[in-house]
Structure 1
Amino acid sequence: MNIEMKGNEGIIRKRSGTSQAKRQRFIFLLVAVAPSLLGYLLFTLYPNVLSIYYSLLDWDGLTDPKFVGFDNFVNMVSDSFVWRALYHNLLYMIVVPAFIVLISLVLAYLLNNKSYRENPFYKVLYFFTNVLSTVVIALLWAFIFDGSFGMLNGILGIFGIDMNSFYWLGDSKTAFWALVLPMVWGGVGLYVVIFINAISAIPKSLYESAILEGARPMTMLFRITIPLIRSVIRVCVVFVVLGTIKGFEIIMIMTNGGPEGSTDVIGLYMFNLAFGKEYHNYGYASAIGMLLFVILIAAKLIIDKYYPEESVEF
């Protein structure tokens, strides 16, 4: 009888200890996660839900809002400025990520597989662009493209190409493509560092075996390096594509969508509708924001379908 009572007491004591450990674990997780969760709910989820409501209004932010239902979305279909901005977004979404990922991958591969004495300096140099703010990058490249004092025209003049004070950001034929350079230049540094860390995790024995087999550097890049860091490349592609679709800071500072709307993108158009000098239409801007949200989701789904995630073991 005493043995049975002692056994029951041991079971009860064990259960109480387990429940106490669970409570402590729950309290720890609550304290650790609550600030981030609260910030996400307050500054991300709540504004997004509020934007859905605003998209159904005709409101300038000052007067009483007027409920218009889906009129903003109907007007958006016939708005030529929206489709022009979306076309520019599509071009940037194709060109900018392709250059960023390709250049970052090649530079990271060279820094990992070539024993240059200056490698540590190069790593810091490439990452330096990521330290600079978007405003600094935009102003720097705006000066480079300046017609009178710009570095680009000066370099071309050294090679005998007289541009006659041509302002690259002032011509609708060149402004769009001129903006690709600062976008790529400002984005390469971060992904060089990411790819360096990914490539450094690949066993050196794989490269040594390939060298013994007579493989060339480019062959090793496409047959060994890229397949083994495919999952990392996929994540980088997702970040660059989504960032290119919704980003507009460089464009706003350098051209503000001009000249003649040749560099306008959907994010900048939405911003100018809500906070510009001429218009203050939060309802219509919120409707465009919902369109941008749908585009981001669609882009993510397309990447998942045609570039699925694969786990690689080595």
Structure 2
Amino acid sequence: MSDLTAVKTPRPSVLRKLGLDKANTQKWIFLFIAIVPPFGGYLLFTLFPNILSVYYAMLNWDGFTDATFVGLSNFVTAFQDKYVWRALTHNLIFMITVPFFVIIISLLLAYLITNKTYKENKFLKVLFFFPNVLSTVVVALLWAFIYDGSYGLLNGILKFLGIDMGNFYWLGNESTALASIIPAWVWGGVGLYVIIFANAMLGIPKSLYEAAILEGAGHMTRLFKITMPLVTPIIRVSALFLVVGTMKGFEIILIMTNGGPFGSTDVIGLYMFNLAFGIEYRNYGYASAVGMILFVILVTAKLLIDKFVPNKGYEY
């Protein structure tokens, strides 16, 4: 009887080993469920299309008929294409102006919200964030109406101030169309960064501001000497997002001007979109080559931000 009992009862070490194997199995199952689906989605919908676009960039192909391999010919054509350089120039203008104004305005508004005890602070946060709730289509149509020549709000305000612009259509003139898009883009992006910067500023100890006030520091001194250095990492990430967004984004331009008049507001993303899906002219291979150039520019911009915008924040 004792022998049977000895045979049927596993050793404690064996039980521990079985328990360890079970724990390892559960761990690997959890890792598989947690990692494989999102990583597989990234490979399928992001990495694979990007790799495939490198191959497409070497083809003369409209997306329907048989493709012809042309090697690096599309890249040579892109570098000689004056419309590519015109679009990149417009992108450069947006890349400099839009992030600059968005970050400066957002910092000032966030500082006022966090350092001024206004009763309306919560309402102001919602008000500033409201443009981000709207879709890009709504924002573009709203500002297109503001710039309208016949019923536009801007011409009405100018007329009230004694400046009669007549039926001047701001988006229909080559000299004003590009500059007119910047306020719309800035207005649509400020609200999000106001919330981001305000939350970052709430983490700064009040004692630093109190000590600065005792030393006689004004609001601008506190903003530039205390607030901005302590939220520098947040500013850096925000600048990166804004630069990438202005280089890639074209939806608001597509709706407001569609690159016109006469290409005066065309950007590289819109130009690439029209090359790939245009009605009169369609060359998916050439559009992919332009996309590769845009990819190189985005990587370069990211490296420049890493180099010239400090990554380390100040300790307190």
TM over 0.5: yes
Shift of 1:279: 1.2
Out of 131, 137, 140, the position equivalent to 2:139 is 137
CA distance in 1, matches of 2:14, 2:71: 61
Deviations 1:227-286 (CA, angstroms, capped at 9, x unpaired): 111111111000001010010000011111111111110000000001112111000000
1:6 is aligned to none
Q: Report 1:136-285 matches (<5 A).
A: 136-285=138-287
Q: Using the alignment, how far apart are the partners of 2:271 and 2:220 within structure 1? A: 42
Residue number in structure 1 paired with 2:112? 110
Q: Supply the RMSD in Å over aligned alpha carbons.
A: 1.4
**Partners of 1:214 and 1:118 in 2: how far apart?**
27
Q: Which residue of 2 aligns with 1:5?
A: none
Give the structure 1 partner of residue 5 of structure 2: none
Unaligned ranges ≥5, structure 2: 1-10
| Alpha-carbon distance in structure 2 between the residues aligned to 1:262 and 1:93 | 16
* C-alpha distance in 2 between matches for 1:12 and 1:220: 66
AA of the residue aligned to 1:73:
F
* Deviation, structure 1 residue 25: 2.1
Listed one character per residue, the Cα deviations across residues 30-62 of structure 1 (whole Å, up to 9, x for unaligned) are 212233222211211111111111100000111
Q: Is the 8 A contact 2:229 2:313 kept in 1?
A: no
1:48 to 50, 54, 57: 50
The separation in 2 between residues aligned to 1:78 and 1:139, in whole angstroms, is: 35
Q: Distance in 2 between matches of 1:142 and 1:15?
A: 70
| Separation of aligned partners in 2, 1:126 and 1:189 | 5
Query: Which of the residues 88, 91, 94 maps onto 1:89?
Result: 91
Rounded Cα–Cα distance in structure 1 between residues aligned with 2:143 and 2:88 = 24
- The 10-residue stretch of structure 1 (14-23 or 142-151) with the greater mean CA deviation from structure 2: 14-23
Distance 1:278 1:310, change over 3 A: same
* In 2, Cα distance between equivalents of 1:127 and 1:16: 55
Q: Which amino acid aligns with 2:228?
A: I
Residue from 120, 124, 127 that aligns with 2:126: 124
Residues 26-105 of structure 1 mapped to structure 2, 5 A cutoff: 26-105=28-107
Residue type at the aligned position of 1:230: T
- CA deviation after TM superposition for structure 1 residue 290, in Å: 0.4
Distance 1:199 1:43 in 2: 37
Query: 2:287 is matched by which residue type in structure 1?
Result: A
Cα distance in 1, alignment partners of residues 158 and 292 from structure 2: 44
Q: Structure 1 stretches of 5 or more lacking a match? A: 1-8
Aligned-partner Cα distance in 1 for 2:225–2:22: 54
Deviation for aligned residue 1:308: 3.2
Q: Is the 8 A contact 2:74 2:285 kept in 1?
A: yes
Q: Is the 8 A contact 2:158 2:164 kept in 1?
A: yes
Query: Which deviates more from structure 2 when the two are superposed, residues 218-227 or residues 17-26?
Result: 17-26
One-letter amino acid of the structure 2 residue matched with residue 196 of structure 1 = A
Residue 215 of structure 1 aligns to a residue whose secondary structure is coil
AA aligned opposite 2:138: V
Deviates more, 1:220-229 or 1:12-21: 12-21
The alpha carbon displacement at 1:311 in A equals 4.0
Q: Is the CA contact (8 Å cut-off) linking 2:231 and 2:313 kept in structure 1?
A: no
CA distance in 2, matches of 1:281, 1:103: 41
* 1:146 Cα offset (Å): 0.3
- Secondary structure, counterpart of 1:138 in structure 2: helix
Give the share of equivalent positions with the same residue, in percent.
Answer: 63
Say which SS state the counterpart of residue 62 (structure 1) adopts.
coil
CA distance in 1, matches of 2:14, 2:170: 79
Give the TM-score normalised by structure 2.
Answer: 0.94
Moved over 3 A (4+): 9-20
Partners of 2:237 and 2:286 in 1: CA distance? 33
Instruction: Encode CA deviations 1:201-226: one digit per residue, 9 max, x unaligned.
Output: 11111111111111101100011101
| Secondary structure of 1:263's aligned partner | coil
Task: For residue 150 of structure 2, give the secondary structure of its aligned residue in structure 1.
Answer: coil
| Cα distance in 2, alignment partners of residues 271 and 48 from structure 1 | 16
